[in-house]
Amino acid sequence: MTRQLPEGESLLVRTDYSDDEAWRETLATATQPWDFGGDIESSAALTPVDDPAFDGLTLSDLKALIGSPPPYYIFLADSRAITDPEHPILAVDTGAEESNDALAAGGVYPTFRVAPKAMASVENNLSIANMDFEEFAGAIDADGVFRGF
């Protein structure tokens, strides 16, 4: 099977196919409208990628798929996102200069996890460059999951 990321922004790539119901629940929660207060409601404009070719995709594998110019971030519904009851999605910084430096040194992309209920805040702000990856990564809880400010 050939892996190729589709065109689109805010890709949410399913990389674990062990539980279809958990995937549907994760996607539904991540894309539902959220009330931010003051009559402000928004939802994450995710592009779901549900293709078994991506089953088992790792961060190392992802390096080979990212084109130039890359998407600046990508979300992965990996095994933890599928099996953990909270379904924390892996957010991956693929576009920052620091990310490229880390890759050149043999490292992997910077990451943090986001609770699906907080996805609208993360996706909306990253997509318009209102906030950057580091701001969200710096606001994670002790377990590495961003749940909101």
Give me the mean pLDDT over the 123-134 stretch. Answer: 91
Residue 62 banded pLDDT, cuts 50, 70, 90 = confident
Which two tokens mark 103? 């890759």
Residue pair 114/137 in contact (Cβ under 8 Å)? The answer is no
pLDDT 10s digits, 30-55: 999 887 677 777 899 999 999 999 99
CB neighbourhood size of 68 (10 A) = 4
Residue pair 98/73 in contact (Cβ under 8 Å)? The answer is no
Q: What stretches of 24-130 adopt beta strand conformation (E)?
A: 34-37, 40-42, 47-49, 73-77, 89-93, 111-114
Residue 75 has pLDDT above 90, yes or no: yes
> Measuring CA to CA, how many Å separate 26 from each of 72, 88, 131?
22, 8, 24
Residue 116 banded pLDDT, cuts 50, 70, 90 = very high
